[in-house]
Amino acid sequence: MGPALCLVSAACFGAMAIFGKLAYSAGVSPEALLLVRFGLAAAVLAALLLLRPGLRHSPPSPAPVPHSGRVTAGVLGTAVGLGAVGYAAQASLYFSALELVDASLLSLIFYTYPLLVTVAAVLLGRDRLTPGRAAALVAASCGTLLVLLGSGGLDFNPLGALLAVGTSITYTVYILVSDTVVHRLPPVVLSALVMTGATFTLAVRALLTGGVDLGFGARGWFWLACIAVVSTVVAMLAFFAGLRRTGPSTAAILSTFEPVVTTALAALTLAEFLTPVQLAGGLLVLSSAAVLQARPARAGRRDRGTAAAPEDGRRDHAIPV
């Protein structure tokens, strides 16, 4: 069941860009999408914590975890800040890019974040750069160039691509900061705090900019509910369940199924197709991401490593995005 749950989670996360495109076509603005998504997800998570008190406690771990210790006000403040600053900014960039570029292209550009996390971790002294991982980084960089340049100039929006790159960079910073608190709070509690922080920021922004238009029809609300429930809450809980059964290495590799789902659904529902060159670049990116995230299986017991932390940081905060 573990691998199946991880694949279900990846599929739910991968569908989010499609749901976003469909919500836009139903008259939903990016501002309304973000506010409703985080607000509804925070409410659902809060309800789960009330109905299932056991979720308020961290699951037992067979090995010591880094940064574990007493929960302090600083830890709680960092968790809320992750949502209020990091996640709100990352999601805003993501859905702004989604207005300008195809869902499949955005998904592949965004999935360069494991590469950026690896580079940042090496520069910060949190990880080591082995020859194999260096080769994976080079291959991923070449793949990213193929994804960006493979359109041949047709329907390519430079601003959208720049926003997509900004999404990946912002998410990289978010992961590195989240690594300081991800092991100190129960996953669902941490996710609820992050969602609450993001909701607060987006609500304040809405007040300062004159509010958001929530007058769209039932179709728009349906797609927003899909984003909040399917691509946020269900995706997160399925990943938690799969992670406990498979471990971080397997879960991280299986998560590369996410952009595959996005690309396939975009072709089926939105008539969006990648060129052969972009498909080849995407394969390089995903293969390299799998190699970079597979490290905990070999070295997780010797040192903490970064591959497990980014994956935990990403999913424990209920995000792909």
Tens-place pLDDT, residues 249-265: 666 677 778 888 898 89
Per-residue model confidence (pLDDT) at position 60: 58
| DSSP secondary structure code for residue 294 in this structure | T
pLDDT tens figures, 13-33: 999 999 999 999 999 999 999
Going from the first residue of the chain to its last (321 residues), give the mean pLDDT of each consecutive group of 10, the final group possibly shorter.
86 94 95 95 94 78 53 87 92 94 88 83 80 80 76 70 94 83 83 93 93 92 96 86 72 78 89 83 81 55 38 36 40
Percent of the chain with pLDDT over 90: 35
Which stretches within the chain are classed as H helix? 2-14, 16-25, 30-51, 73-81, 88-98, 103-110, 113-123, 131-149, 158-178, 187-208, 218-225, 235-246, 248-254, 257-269, 276-293, 296-299, 308-316
User: How many whole angstroms separate alpha carbon 70 and alpha carbon 178?
Assistant: 16
User: 118-145 burial string, b = 16+ CB within 10 Å, else e?
Assistant: bbbbbeeebbeeeeebeebbebbbebbe
Per-residue model confidence (pLDDT) at position 131: 83
